[in-house]
């Protein structure tokens, strides 16, 4: 065991290692979160959560399993979406049985339960002591990203993909063939939900190669066979053939699966080559895997082998993607967030070093500690480039934080003097998790603002929130509205919108941004081009405030100052924080006579 302290009693005994302890911790946490819902509200937390609700509603309402398009965005063409029905399945089932409100409340917590069981499997395979294991069960609340992603009403795909990453890791640590097969299944599901997991799945494959190189465990072919088979099955089961053969780069494609198959073939041949009894021979056999898979991927994927976001329109890069904090690297984050991302390496390295110091690993668990450390370190490096990957990195860091807490906290609590004891206790928590350093750095954020924080800084945000349900009283029509609030408007009303923030649909997104950040003439032209019935803005929305910082007499500032042109007719009762104007019926004809294109509809 890695902890040299007392391993007796409730908090260090067999109970904490049992499935019952996981369920008890989950019930206590879930009960608290659900009790807070009447005070926090029963609404989805973000635009993506609202859109996920729309996806499930549409499916339950009769939209095809194969069609995940949003048809009320830019009708009649609709918005193409890369989302997976796999995430819709549990949510749709829960909503069908217990209703929409409780379904959205419970499903994220059920994903959390899956994550905790995967974490339990990881900690058991590391041979943690009872004390360290106990810290590990509760430590997830000390990692800032985890509670929010698995909160009630947070129904986006980030939670499910993190659980698949944890399950892949737990299965990878198994020395058995069935563990490799399970890891391949979980990894394929992870990729079917989000292709962003591909770099870490590649690391998992490399770690299976490391096990073959050092221990001669022939598990890599079974992992790759399972990954290839289930990637093909899940793609065929959830994606229409036209999409698999289409222009999109943000989903699993035949090129990916063919590259997986080539890697499987080479990994299967490797153990039968000569000199496999030596490390050099095994290394040469392993080299065949990337030598076959990478050229296959490059040839078959073509431009899709690069970053899908590399082809974004410059307008979107300037006014949209550059302000989405979760997709940006650490050096473009607020100070507190950047420190949260960077600091995670402290419990990773500290926990690994302390756990192994003086032969402290449990018998036979040293290899698993090394595998987990390499994967967690890779996830941490990935998170420095793409902030949202920090969720997986934080989950994988929990066993290291638990080891660090178990090894250092008893000594800190044993200090007889009060002040040194409190300082040492706080110091241990500072080392073990990023929560304390993030909280301590929070006051620095406004002193060192970043672009992601400064959305609308030159045009202060109006106080108050917008009740988009009030729009339901208007005759259903097409709204030209900033993109962040568009999904909630769709969920609360029968209206349609021109655009929301989904990268496949660049032209409507660019036009929406241009309509508000450009001139009044741009606003009129785009409203007419799409045949919009209404222009609606929430003055407290951060994206609308951002458009007010555009140079010149931009349309957003004009609308906020009640100096709208005559072709926009204010809607009575909707002239506060939420402002709505009807587009005059003859504006389309006026713009056509001026020589603009015919409406897209």
Pairing of strands 496-497, 534-538: unpaired
Final residue of a domain: which of 373, 394, 413?
Answer: 413
Same domain? For 404 and 533 the reply is no
Rounded to 5 degrees, φ, ψ at 573 are 85, -10
Would you say 231 and 254 are in contact if contact means Cβ atoms under 8 Å apart?
no
Same domain? For 365 and 484 the reply is no
In a domain, 424, yes or no: no
Task: Give dist(CA 557, CA 544) in Å, integer.
Answer: 9
Same domain? For 275 and 138 the reply is yes
Would you say 224 and 206 are in contact if contact means Cβ atoms under 8 Å apart?
no
- Degrees (nearest 5) of the Cα angle 464, 546, 339? 90
In a domain, 453, yes or no: no
Kindly report whether the peptide bond that precedes residue 76 is cis, defined as omega within 30 degrees of 0: yes
Task: Give dist(CA 579, CA 600) in Å, integer.
Answer: 25
Same domain? For 406 and 498 the reply is no
| Largest Cα span, the chain | 86
In a domain, 257, yes or no: yes
Closest CA to 403 of 362, 367, 343: 362
Pairing of strands 534-538, 578-583: antiparallel
In a domain, 359, yes or no: yes
Same domain? For 403 and 477 the reply is no
Q: Is 562 helix (H, G, I), strand (E, B) or coil?
A: coil
Final residue of a domain: which of 413, 443, 460?
Answer: 413
The list of the chain residues with pLDDT below 70 reads: 1-13, 307-310, 358-359, 451-461, 587-601
Same domain? For 34 and 100 the reply is yes
Here the tokens at position 584 are 């005059």
Domain count, the chain: 2
Would you say 224 and 258 are in contact if contact means Cβ atoms under 8 Å apart?
no
Final residue of a domain: which of 393, 413, 433?
Answer: 413
Q: Is 469 helix (H, G, I), strand (E, B) or coil?
A: helix
Range of the domain at 495: 468-593
Task: Give dist(CA 497, CA 480) in Å, integer.
Answer: 6
Same domain? For 401 and 484 the reply is no
Q: How are strands ordered across the β-sheet holding 534-538?
A: 496-497, 478-480, 534-538, 578-583, 568-575
Here the tokens at position 374 are 């390499």
CB count within 10 Å of CB 434 equals 29
Closest CA to 200 of 372, 15, 10: 372
In a domain, 171, yes or no: yes
Same domain? For 509 and 396 the reply is no
Task: Give dist(CA 128, CA 130) in Å, integer.
Answer: 7
Closest CA to 564 of 577, 579, 578, 576: 579
Task: Give dist(CA 316, CA 126) in Å, integer.
Answer: 45
Bridge partner residues of 454 (DSSP): none
pLDDT of residue 8: 47
Same domain? For 394 and 478 the reply is no
Same domain? For 403 and 492 the reply is no
Task: Give dist(CA 134, CA 240) in Å, integer.
Answer: 46
Same domain? For 409 and 473 the reply is no
In a domain, 160, yes or no: yes
Same domain? For 131 and 231 the reply is yes
- Degrees (nearest 5) of the Cα angle 32, 37, 38? 120
Give the distance from CA 178 to its chain's centroid.
Answer: 28
CATH code for the domain in which residue 588 is found:
3.40.50
In a domain, 432, yes or no: no
Task: Give dist(CA 596, CA 66) in Å, integer.
Answer: 36
In a domain, 454, yes or no: no
Would you say 424 and 430 are in contact if contact means Cβ atoms under 8 Å apart?
no
């Amino acid at each position: 065991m890695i902890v040299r302290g007392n391993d007796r009693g409730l908090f260090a005994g067999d109970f904490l290692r049992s499935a019952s302890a996981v369920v008890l911790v989950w019930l206590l946490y879930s009960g608290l979160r659900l009790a807070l819902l009447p005070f926090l509200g029963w609404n989805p937390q973000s635009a993506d959560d609202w859109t996920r609700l729309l996806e499930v509603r549409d499916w339950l309402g009769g939209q095809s399993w194969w069609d995940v398009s949003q048809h009320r965005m830019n009708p009649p063409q609709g918005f193409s979406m890369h989302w997976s029905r796999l995430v819709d399945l549990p949510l749709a089932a829960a909503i069908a049985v217990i209703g929409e409100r409780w379904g959205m409340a419970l499903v994220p917590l059920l994903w959390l339960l899956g994550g905790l069981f995967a974490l339990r499997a990881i900690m058991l395979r590391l041979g943690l002591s009872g004390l360290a294991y106990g810290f590990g069960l509760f430590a997830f609340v000390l990692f800032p990203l985890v509670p929010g992603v698995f909160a009630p009403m947070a129904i986006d795909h980030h939670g499910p993909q993190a659980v698949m990453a944890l399950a892949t890791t737990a299965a990878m640590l198994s020395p058995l063939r069935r563990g490799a097969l399970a890891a391949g299944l979980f990894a394929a599901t992870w990729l079917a939900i989000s292709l962003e997991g591909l770099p870490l799945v590649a690391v998992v494959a490399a770690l299976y190669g490391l096990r073959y190189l050092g221990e001669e465990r022939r598990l890599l072919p079974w992992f790759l066979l399972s990954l290839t088979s289930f990637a093909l099955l899940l793609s065929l089961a959830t994606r229409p053939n036209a999409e698999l053969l289409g222009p999109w780069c943000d989903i699993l494609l035949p090129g990916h699966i063919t590259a997986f198959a080539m890697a499987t073939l080479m990994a299967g041949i490797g153990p039968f080559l000569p000199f496999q009894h030596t490390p050099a021979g095994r290394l040469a056999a392993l080299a065949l895997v990337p030598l076959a898979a990478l050229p296959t991927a490059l040839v078959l994927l073509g431009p899709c082998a690069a970053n899908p976001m590399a082809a974004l329109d410059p307008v979107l890069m300037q006014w949209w993607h550059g302000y989405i904090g979760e997709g940006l690297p650490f050096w473009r984050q607020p100070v507190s967030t950047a420190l949260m991302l960077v600091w995670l390496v402290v419990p990773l390295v500290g926990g690994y070093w302390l756990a192994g110091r003086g032969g402290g690993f449990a018998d036979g668990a040293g290899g698993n500690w090394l595998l987990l450390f390499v994967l967690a370190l890779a996830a941490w490096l990935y998170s420095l480039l793409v902030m949202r990957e920090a969720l997986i990195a934080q989950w994988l860091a929990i066993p290291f934080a638990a080891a660090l807490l178990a090894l250092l906290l008893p000594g800190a609590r044993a200090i007889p003097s009060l002040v040194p004891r409190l300082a040492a206790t706080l110091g241990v928590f500072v080392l073990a998790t990023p929560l304390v350093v993030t909280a301590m750095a929070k006051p620095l954020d406004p002193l060192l603002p970043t672009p992601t924080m400064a959305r609308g800084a030159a045009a202060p945000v109006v106080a108050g929130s917008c009740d988009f349900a009030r729009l339901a009283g208007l005759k259903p029509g097409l709204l030209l509205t900033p993109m962040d609030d568009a999904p909630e408007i769709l969920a609360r009303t029968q209206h349609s919108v021109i655009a929301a923030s989904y990268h496949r649909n660049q032209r409507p997104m660019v036009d929406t941004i241009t309509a508000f950040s450009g001139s009044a003439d741009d606003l009129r032209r785009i409203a007419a081009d799409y045949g919009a019935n209404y222009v609606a803005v929430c003055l407290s929305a951060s994206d609308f405030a951002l458009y007010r910082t555009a140079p010149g007499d931009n349309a957003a500032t004009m609308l906020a100052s009640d100096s709208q042109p005559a072709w926009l007719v204010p809607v009575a009762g909707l002239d506060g924080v939420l402002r709505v104007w009807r587009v005059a019926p003859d504006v389309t004809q006026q713009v056509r006579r001026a020589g603009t294109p015919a409406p897209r509809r």
